[in-house]
Amino acid sequence: MIASPIVCDKKQGSLLESLQISVCKLFNIGKLRMLIIISLSLVRGLIPGIQVFLIGLLIDAAANSYSFQYVLNSSFYLGGTIISAYLFDNLIIYLSDSITIDLSKDVDFDIVDKLCNLEVQQFETEETYDLIQRADNSTGLHIFGLFDSIRSTIQSGITIFSITLVIWSWNPFVAIMLIVAPVPSAIATLKIQTMAYTIDYNRASDRRVVSYYRSLLMSDSARKEIILFKYADILRERYSVLQKEFQFQDLKIAKYNFTIAGSLGFISIIAIIVAIVLGARSTLESGNVGALAGYISASTSIGPLMLAALVGFMGLHQHLLYISNWVAFLKLNPKTPKSGDIPYKGSDPASIEFRNVSFTYPGTSYKVLNNISFKLEAGKTTALVGLNGAGKTTIIKLLLRFYEPTSGAIFLDGRDISEYSRDTLYQHFSALFQDFVKYDRSLADNVLFTSSSDDRDVDRILKTLSMVGLKYLANLLPYGLDTMLGRRFENGQQLSIGQWQRLAMARALYKSPSLLILDEPTASVDAISENSIFDAMSQLSRNMTTVIVAHRFTTIAHSDKIIVIKDGTVHAIGSHTELLEQSEFYRKIFYAQVHYHDY
Ligand code: ADP
């Protein structure tokens, strides 16, 4: 993964820290370009003041019939400042664009890199989910925006200072009036910006609800229920309530803008007119016509400059807030289960033992698994059976090293599983999850993602597809293994849910695992396909250990041993016949299913 890490690694996210990290990031990416931008901006800030001075000279020269050479020289200098300002602005824009492009790419890589390293457990908390949602690619724009706000505030400040200095040299009182005049208008702008930001900030959670309603309305999987349960009108109603609230708040700002900001702006205009009148009067006394032109040009430029400086300054806070979301996301610290140094070879079927394992999910106090012990014998198929919430999936999560047991240990081939490197375990462990993924990619990618189609082992893919009864798809689909599946992309072919599940099974079988975990593997598969899948599996099963989380007794029938899990404990272990004899609980769930489900 090509990602440039943030070298400044600080503790958990304050705005100050976000500022430090942003500065580091900016310097890492475009130190030279930033220095050029800063230098150009400092000089660029002085140009308007020089222009006011030169305009004054030029008009004075014209009014007092100075020599042509003098007028030509002044015009030449003025033209020089105009051209310089144009060139500086363009260069600043170009350099800014190039830094922003590099930053956006870099920030995007940081996010993707972090996403690649998140643990399963992090997707099980709302906090992480929020952070993932908020850390978006626009962070690059905000980091540059932060720099640009500081830069433009300083540049505007220098310009105001240089213009004021020139005016001051002609008439200090007019200079003070011109500086004071935009203040009421600036205060109003500041107030509106704060109001708008507060509203926007408080709106964040409602905005998420609105976007969730939109996504439901756009989702193909929700469409059936939306029609069947007539949810469309209700969703529209809820959507419009929130949108009306947004509309009301926006109108409130618009009204405030019109009344209060309008009045304060009017005061500023009056003050500017007073400054011009004062300037005109002093021109009458001094006869310096050029100064009058300077007063007029300054009166129209200082106000917008002051606003630009203020808006830039206000923007700092907003940019920092956005950046702090990204910083907090990057600081997500996955509690990675221990990964030892010993490589797991996986050459034989795995033998597993849970010894006195208890488990409590992080952030909760309830023991989901309570002192469980059992063995999964090498080369055998074991079924985990129990009611919803009994703890079967949690056992799988521990076995797959997504979580660390709170107490007790899991042994793999006689050694504590935490001593093996997790990466090597995953080379030989495979699973078909109940919520398996339907990749909207090619048929081949659904069996195994490879970097390019040249890297794939076509024979092996076809052999695996044949095990799950899907080899015919490679011949039937228009582009064979390269046919896009799903509806998201062009020419995508949709499969039935049962076909998707068999494809997920092919994915699990492709690497000939030492341990295969199947969570309700044939729930969506018809009875004939189910039998053929289990037949194919039984050919492989000599070389692998299989765990099946099963509700259907047709599935359980394919196992050598059954472990009954009840309320986070091992309730009973045995074969189907043994358990029917020994466990009333097992009999109860078996007969309930015989009567109501499978038959
Ligand atoms: P089963 O697979 O047998 O239906 P699970 O192992 O999924 O049961 O869940 C066992 C218990 O653990 C349930 O009470 C469930 O609410 C709880 N649980 C599952 N996942 C989490 C989680 N991420 N955080 C907290 N509790 C959880």
Residue 430 phi, psi dihedral angles, 5° rounding = -140, 160
CATH code at position 56: 1.20.1560.10
Q: Are residues 95 and 227 in the same domain?
A: yes
Q: What is the model's pLDDT at position 10?
A: 43
Which residue CA neighbors atom 11 of ligand 1 most closely? 389
Q: Please choose from 125, 357, 385, 393 the residue to mutate so as to test ligand 1's pocket, defined by most ligand atoms within 8 A of CB.
A: 393
Pair of tokens at residue 129: 């989910």
User: Is residue 404 in a domain?
Assistant: yes
Query: What's the CATH number where 524 sits?
Result: 3.40.50.300
pLDDT value of residue 596:
47
Atom of ligand 1 nearest to the CA of 397: 6
Residue 149 alpha carbon to ligand 1 centre in Å: 48
Residue 501's pLDDT is 87
Specify if 272 maps to a domain.
yes
Q: At 489, is the secondary structure helix, strand, or coil?
A: coil
Atom of ligand 1 nearest to the CA of 366: 26
Both 579 and 430 in one domain: the answer is yes
Residue 506 domain flag:
no
Whether residues 314 and 456 share a domain: the answer is no
Give me the residues paired with residue 493 across strands.
485
Nearest C-alpha to atom 12 of ligand 1 is from which residue?
368
* Rounded distance between C-alpha atoms, residue 311 and residue 305, angstroms: 10
Specify whether 425 is located in the same domain as 458.
no
> Same domain, yes or no, for 278 and 406?
no
Q: Is residue 42 part of a domain?
A: yes
Domain span at 536:
352-436+513-595
Q: How far is the CA of 541 from the centre of ligand 1 (A)?
A: 29
How far apart are the C-alpha atoms of 345 and 440, rounded to whole Å? 32
Whether 444 and 430 map to the same domain: the answer is no
Q: Is residue 508 part of a domain?
A: no
Q: Are residues 362 and 484 in the same domain?
A: no
DSSP 3-state of 314: helix
* Ligand 1 center from residue 368 Cα (angstroms): 7
Q: Looking at the structure, do residues 452 and 426 belong to the same domain, yes or no?
A: no
Q: Are residues 271 and 161 in the same domain?
A: yes
CB neighbours of residue 504 within 10 Å? 24
Q: What pLDDT was estimated at residue 4?
A: 40
d(CA 45, CA 159): 5
Q: Which helix (H) or strand (E) element contains residue 81?
A: helix 68-116
- Is there a single domain that holds both residue 280 and residue 326? yes
Residue located nearest, by CA, to atom 6 of ligand 1: 391
**How many residues does this entry show for the chain?**
599
Which residues lie closer than 8 Å to 438 by C-beta, 6 or more apart? 446, 485, 486, 495, 500, 503, 504
Distances (CA, A) of 210 to 178, 198, 243, 447, 476: 46, 18, 8, 37, 42
Atom of ligand 1 nearest to the CA of 364: 25
Alpha-carbon span 44 to 89, nearest angstrom: 8
Same domain, yes or no: 537 and 590: yes
The pTM score is: 0.76
225 shares a domain with 141? yes
For position 526, what pLDDT does the model report?
Answer: 67
The answer to whether the CB of 195 falls within 8 A of the CB of 203 is no
What is the distance between the alpha carbons of residues 516 and 407, in angstroms, rounded to a whole number? 24
Q: Which atom of ligand 1 is nearest to the CA of 395?
A: 6
Distance separating alpha carbons of residues 510 and 461, to the nearest angstrom:
7
Q: Cβ of 109: how many Cβ atoms within 10 Å?
A: 15
Select from 234, 242, 235 the least CA-distant residue to 205.
242
Mean pLDDT per block of 10 residues along the chain (599 residues) reads 40 75 90 94 94 90 84 91 96 94 90 87 76 75 89 91 92 90 86 82 80 87 85 92 94 92 91 90 86 87 84 82 86 83 90 96 92 94 91 94 95 95 94 88 90 82 91 92 86 85 90 89 66 67 84 78 95 92 88 56
Ligand 1 residue neighbourhood (C-beta within 6 Å) = 124, 361, 364, 368, 386, 388-394
Q: Which two tokens stand for residue 441?
A: 């990619």
Contact yes or no for 372/395 (Cβ under 8 A)? yes
Number of structural domains found in the chain: 3
